[in-house]
Amino acid sequence: MPLTCERQFSIPVSISPTLNPAPTVCAARARGQEVIAAKIAVIYYSATGNVHKLANAIVEGALETGAEVRLRRVAELAPEEAIQQNQAWAAHRDETSGTVEEAEIEDLRWADGFAFGTPTRFGNPAAQLKQFLDMAGGLWFEGALADKPVTTFTAAMYPEGGLESTILALNNVFYHWGCVLVPPGYTSPSIFEAGGNPYGTAFPSGKGPPTDAVLAAARHQGRRLAAFTTVLTDASVPTHALTT
C-alpha cells in the first residue's frame, strides 16, 4: 500500500524544512515514482494491558501511512504463581495469548523499522523484552539491524516512576545495533496534551487505562516512525554511501 500523502506529519518547519518526510514522499509520488511501503514491527511486553493499548495505538498510526505492520508480544517469563496473584495480569495474558502472535527474531529481520514497548521495572525495561532483545545477537553480528529506525514507549504506575529512565535504558540497545532513533520530540500538539514527554509515549497508569490524549500521542509516534522509515528505506542513496 502506498504512503498516504493526505496525512501531514507534524515536524516544525521552523527547525528545518528538510526534516519533514511527508512532502519528500508525496513529491516523489507526484513525479510518478513508486513509493514502497515501510514494514514496521511493533514489539512489546505488557503485564496488565497498558503497554498493549499503547502498542495498538502505535500500530494504528503506522497503518495510517500505508505501512505494513506486525504487532507482536514477547514471551512471558514470570512463573504462573506470580501471574495468578494479580487478576489483571492473568486476565491480560489469557486475552492476548490467542490474539497477538508471539515475537520471533525473524520479525526483526523482516522489519524496516521498529517500535518497542515495555512497562518500567525499577527504571529499566522488563526482563521479558530484554531477553528477546538479547537473543538478537546473530542479526546484530550480521549487520542486519543497522540503519533501521526505532522508537520506544513505556508505562509506569506513577509519573515519577521511571518512565524516562526506562526509555533511555532501552535505547542503549539500539545504539549498539546502529539504529536511527526516532523519538516523537515536540512535533505534535498531542505530545503536550499527553504530558509532554519527548522521549516516547510514556503513560503513568496509576489512575486508570491510557487516556484518549495518550493514545493520540502514541498514534502520532507510530505515524512519525513509519514516515521516516518509508523515506529511509525508499531512498535512492545506497546505505554504504552514507558510511564510507
Q: What are phi and psi of 16, to 5 degrees?
A: -170, 130
CB atoms within 10 A of CB 123: 14
Per-residue pLDDT for 8 more than 70?
no
pLDDT digits (tens, 9 = 90+) for 114-165: 999 999 999 999 999 999 999 999 999 999 999 999 999 999 999 889 999 9
Q: Widest CA span of the chain, in angstroms? A: 60
CA pair distance 118, 51, nearest whole angstrom: 6
CATH of 41-239, one of 3.40.50.300, 3.30.413.10, 3.40.50.261, 3.40.50.360: 3.40.50.360
pLDDT at 11 over 70: no
Pairing of strands 68-73, 180-181: unpaired
Query: Are the beta carbons of 67 and 40 closer than 8 angstroms?
Result: yes
- Mean pLDDT value across residues 217-239: 83
Chain CA centroid to CA 84, Å: 29
CB atoms closer than 10 angstroms to residue 192: 13
Whether 174 shows a pLDDT value over 70: the answer reads yes
Rounded to whole angstroms, the Cα distance separating 13 from 5 reads 17
CA-wise closest residue to 230 among 74, 39, 41: 39
What residue spans define the domains of the chain? 41-239
H or E stretch at 169: helix 163-177
Average pLDDT, whole number, for the chain? 86
Q: Are 204 and 163 in contact (CB under 8 A)?
A: yes
Higher model confidence: residue 34 or residue 43? Answer: 43
Please say whether the beta carbons of 22 and 5 come within 8 A.
Answer: yes
What is the structure's pLDDT at 23? 46
The pLDDT tens digits of the residues spanning 158-172 come to 988 999 999 999 999
Give pLDDT tens digits for 72-124.
Answer: 999 999 999 999 999 999 999 999 999 999 999 999 999 999 999 999 999 99
- Beta-carbon contacts of 207 under 8 Å, excluding residues fewer than 6 positions away, are none
Question: If pLDDT is split at 50, 70 and 90, which confidence band does 21 have?
Answer: low
Cβ neighbours around 13 below 10 Å, total? 11
Match 514516515 to its residue by C-alpha cell: 227
Strand runs (DSSP E) across the chain, as ranges? 39-44, 68-73, 113-121, 124-125, 149-156, 180-181, 202-204
- pTM, 2 dp: 0.85
